[in-house]
Amino acid sequence: MPNRHISSDLKECALHLWNLGWDLKDISFALGISSCSCYCWWEVLEEYGSVVCPHSPLRGCAQTVTRVLLTSIKTLVAKDPDLYLNELCTWLAIWHDISISLSSLCRTLNDTGLSHKVLQKIALEQDEICHAEYSLCTAMTVDGYIAAHVVEGSFNAEQFYNFIAEEVLPQMNPFPAE
């Protein structure tokens, strides 16, 4: 039988019929319930005095990694982009007295949008050496390169458009090539 919500009235009725001496198979057939459920409800009734378990006051896990720690992790990775998750776990344990598993840290970082790719991008943006690097864009044919352009940093849309319009298109044949 599929899992479904069973009202407390039906649970009490099943246990009452069982107390009156009905066979458990007959109760299961008549009420459309599992005989295993009756045993569970009997245990709950014995323990709590009701067929319904009281709700736990605890709701979910306590948040281990707070916003302040996420900011600290972001800053740490910006300084050292080659950190592994186990190194972050060790850093949290030593400097913040927080013990967290690799999977929990990974899930927390992904849930907050700080995936490995995002963290590396943040770290690269902080790196002054990377700002001074150059980007190269080339246009190739089967015969070789027809144009190349180098810019400091990375290409933006306008620079790429100018490269195509000014350096590549003048060297191309009109379609279809003859």
With a CB cutoff of 8 Å and minimum separation 6, the contacts of 130 are 124
Whether residue 152 contacts residue 110, with contact meaning beta carbons closer than 8 Å, is answered with no
**Rounded to whole angstroms, how far apart are CA atoms 91 and 77?**
11
Looking at residue 34, what DSSP letter applies?
Answer: -
Residue type, 53: C
Using CA atoms, how far residue 125 sits from 82, 114, 129, in Å, is 14, 15, 10
Whether residue 15 contacts residue 45, with contact meaning beta carbons closer than 8 Å, is answered with yes
What the block records as the tokens of 27 is 């109760």
> What is the reported pLDDT for 162?
92
Tens digit of pLDDT at every position of the chain (178 positions): 557 788 888 889 999 999 999 998 998 888 888 888 889 889 988 988 888 888 776 666 666 778 888 888 878 877 776 778 888 888 888 888 888 888 888 888 888 777 767 767 766 666 566 556 778 889 988 888 889 988 887 788 899 999 999 998 888 877 765 5
Instruction: Express each pLDDT in 88-105 by its tens digit.
Output: 888 888 888 888 888 888
Residue with tokens 């991008």, as numbered in its chain: 121
Mean pLDDT of the chain: 82
With a CB cutoff of 8 Å and minimum separation 6, the contacts of 151 are 134, 135, 137, 159
What the block records as the tokens of 92 is 């949290």
Looking at the chain, list the stretches that DSSP marks H as alpha helix, in order from N- to C-terminal side. 8-19, 24-31, 35-48, 67-79, 85-96, 102-111, 116-126, 128-131, 157-163
Phi, psi (5° rounding) for residue 33?
A: -125, 170
> What is the reported pLDDT for 113?
78
> What is the reported pLDDT for 161?
92
Residue with tokens 């709590």, as numbered in its chain: 48
> What is the reported pLDDT for 141?
84
Instruction: Express each pLDDT in 60-82 by its tens digit.
Output: 666 677 888 888 887 887 777 67
**Rounded to whole angstroms, how far apart are CA atoms 104 and 156?**
37
Q: Is the dihedral of CA 139, 141, 144, 146 positive or negative?
A: negative
